[in-house]
A and B are shown apart, each in its own frame.
Chain A
Amino acid sequence: MTSASLTLSARGVAGTQRFLAYAITIAALFALPLASHADGPVVAGMSQLLLGAALLAGIGLLIGFGVQGGRLLDLMLLAVSGVTAILLLRFVAAYPGTVKGGFWALVVALWLSSWLFVERLSAWDVTDRAAKRAIGLAIPLLFGVWVLVLWELLVTGFGVPKILLPAPSDIGLRFASSIPTLWADFRQTFLKAVLIGYAIGCGAGFVTAILVDKVDFLRRGLLPIGNLVSALPIIGIAPIMVMWFGFDWPSKAAVVIIMTFFPMLVNTVTGLASADRIQHDLMRTYAANYWQTLVKMRLPMALPFIFNALKINSTLALIGAIVAEFFGTPIVGMGFRISTEVGRLNVDMVWAEIAVAALAGSAFYGLVTLLERVFTFWHPSVRG
């Protein structure tokens, strides 16, 4: 490695990292008596696990003694952790609920080694912007993968009943086997209730904001009320909407409209007021009329505020539609599925549905953020 990375790792090995490295070794050594604790004479996969423990212990010692391996050593750490994780997962799947102390010592060693890897990865001295972004993305992804692995190990290892908490693998299987149902629910709740309600609610909020902005009296009267309403539990309106508009998606869309209207109204009105006196004066010197000022200066100035509302609303809309379905639906829909499958104690199906909701929510939010980047490229927060 280059001298730069050498000096860096020499500095970085101090303190926390050295402590972590030794802790890995100790935990991995505790895992070695694994064989004597297992049930039965010969357990398949045991020798592989022992190999993993030995490797972890070795690499812990290497880092602990301050061996200058640079990034190669870090990648080795990652590889050993990954292999050990896979071995642990295979082992626990073969002997659910019967694993013993040595196994958990290895899990602890794995946890420490992932921690150490992230600690070292975040100390990498990269100047390239793309590489920096890749590392910034890799660390949370690793964390997410680690949470899933730990979840799987704990739930299967302790034999937690599926009714309480299913393992991620069970949820994944259920997800894969019930895609038609999930898709039907997604179409009912997201493509109909959420999208239509979101479009109408945000649109109505926007148009109202433009009207309110024109009349100063209304602005002063409506803004405090709009702010108050944003803090209210509007979701409680759901049973009324179900009574008025029936069980199908229009009642859910109505809840979504009401929930998304006020954030949009308040944010747009605030945004329209964000232009400075001097900018108004400039438009006057150009002899711009009201509409020209609105379209060419005030609306672009308000865009960051409008996108803020659109982002808040993307979450609110999904919540509104799902909770409204708790008050009555036809026999399809994400909220319906969640409440009925909970009643039948099919918790893995509930988790699969929640995974769909989470994916849909993040994708929706991500899309709005992407649009924000496209439309407000000039804003300091986007230019970075």
Chain B
Amino acid sequence: MTDAAYSSPMGKVDSPFSRLMSGTTGPVIVVVAVIVAVWYIAAALLNAPAQRDAFQRAGQTDVTLAEFVVATYAQERPVLPAPHQVAAEIWATTAEKAITSKRSLIYHSGITLSSTLLGFVLGTALGIGLAILVVHSRVLDKSLMPWVISSQTIPILAIAPMIIVVLNAINVTGLWPKALISTYLSFFPVTVGMVKGLRSPEIIQLDLMKTYSASGFQTLLMLRLPSAMPYLFASMKVAVAASLVGAIVGELPTGAVAGLGARLLSGSYYGQTVQIWSALIVAAVLAASLVTIVSIAERVVLRRMGMAR
């Protein structure tokens, strides 16, 4: 495969296959295939010791290599589950379970997603509001902004358990504490990006607004906010991913009640590796789809505003 891609000289790309390989789609497919293959090999190797013990205990000594490898892919609690085991688990816990069931991954994803989205919306609104204040107040710009920037160097996630437990102590439970952590994580990138974006209009454009005798509010609405849109979407992509991480970590200290984080935690308590991996994959899919949705919104909005690159 790789040979074919290399031996076809540039300029003579004719066949659909070599065209595929000269773009990004082909190489990505190949890399993913390699990753899956490595995963299978690693699963066989990592699960082998336990499987050898199992066969020895069962008194089976004459197993062929093929039988042995197949057996390593069918353990109940493998060290590393094979991809198809994870896929089967995901299928079983999404499509074959009722959505209301506590074993349904869709149910848990929904819980995580709701606090992610609530936190993301709050965090984005807060970030935009703070950025507008910072751009219009010199005191806030000089006193608050350095802290906003340096706060990104602090492992904010460490305070997640405290927020959850403390809010539990005053009877705030469920969605809000988790959403608060997501808010906190998603608001910094939006603030920093929006401050940059609101300052992105050039002096000459601001001067033009002045010659129109536009008020500060009109300048904000008609010049600053529109020109900040590309920055807003770029930081929203970071923020939505951070928000999901916040929601998942926020589910850890409540003691495995519900949500993807709780699935991870209960999986690690009971050694259910397949459950951990399926929660992990679902979380990854969720993150990828959230970022994709923001990217699509970005493309649509920027195209309608005539700013598409």
Binding site for B on A (CB under 8 A): 115, 118-119, 122, 136, 139-140, 142-144, 163-165, 217-218, 220-225, 228, 231-233, 235-240, 242-244, 314-315, 318-319, 322-323, 326-328, 334-335, 338-339, 342-343, 345, 347, 350-351, 353-354, 357-358, 361-362, 364-366
Q: How far apart sit A366 and B142, CA to CA, in the bound complex (Å)?
A: 19
Q: How far apart sit A366 and B159, CA to CA, in the bound complex (Å)?
A: 22
Specify which chain A residues have a CB less than 8 angstroms from the CB of B153 in the assembled complex: 314-315, 361-362, 364-366
Q: How far apart sit A207 and B32, CA to CA, in the bound complex (Å)?
A: 20
The answer on a CB contact under 8 Å between A335 and B166 is no
Specify which chain A residues have a CB less than 8 angstroms from the CB of B146 in the assembled complex: 140
The answer on a CB contact under 8 Å between B288 and A231 is yes
Query: Please, could you name 21 A-B residue pairs with CB atoms under 8 Å apart, sorted by A?
Result: A118-B139, A118-B143, A122-B142, A221-B29, A235-B249, A236-B260, A236-B283, A239-B267, A244-B79, A314-B153, A319-B156, A323-B249, A326-B252, A342-B253, A345-B165, A345-B169, A347-B166, A350-B159, A354-B158, A357-B158, A362-B154
The answer on a CB contact under 8 Å between B268 and A232 is no
Q: How far apart sit A350 and B138, CA to CA, in the bound complex (Å)?
A: 34
Segment from B216-224, B237-245, B296-304 that makes contact with A: B237-245
The answer on a CB contact under 8 Å between B155 and A318 is yes
Q: Is the interface of B mostly helix, strand, loop or mixed?
A: helix
The answer on a CB contact under 8 Å between A357 and B154 is yes
The answer on a CB contact under 8 Å between A231 and B158 is no
Q: How far apart sit A347 and B252, CA to CA, in the bound complex (Å)?
A: 18
Q: Among the listed A118, A217, A343, A354, which residue makes an inter-chain contact with B5, where contact means beta carbons less than 8 Å apart?
A: A217
Residue ID in chain B nearest A244 by CB atoms: B79
The answer on a CB contact under 8 Å between B138 and A240 is no
Q: Among the listed B155, B241, B264, B265, which residue makes an inter-chain contact with A319, where contact means beta carbons less than 8 Å apart?
A: B155
Binding site for A on B (CB under 8 A): 2, 5-6, 21, 23-24, 26-32, 79, 138-139, 142-147, 150, 152-159, 161-162, 165-166, 169-170, 237, 241, 244-245, 248-249, 252-253, 260-261, 264-265, 267-268, 271, 273, 276-277, 279-280, 283-284, 287-288, 291
B147 to chain A, nearest CB (A): 6
Query: What are the 5 A-B residue pairs with the smallest beta carbon separation, nearest first?
Result: A221-B27, A239-B268, A143-B143, A365-B153, A221-B31
Specify which chain B residues have a CB less than 8 angstroms from the CB of A323 in the assembled complex: 157-158, 249, 252
The answer on a CB contact under 8 Å between A164 and B170 is yes
Specify which chain A residues have a CB less than 8 angstroms from the CB of B5 in the assembled complex: 217
Q: How far apart sit A366 and B271, CA to CA, in the bound complex (Å)?
A: 40
Specify which chain A residues have a CB less than 8 angstroms from the CB of B152 in the assembled complex: 315
Q: Among the listed A140, A218, A239, which residue makes an inter-chain contact with B265, where contact means beta carbons less than 8 Å apart?
A: A239
| Contact status of A327 and B147, CB under 8 A, knowing A218-B27, A235-B245 | no
The answer on a CB contact under 8 Å between A119 and B139 is yes
B152 to chain A, nearest CB (A): 7
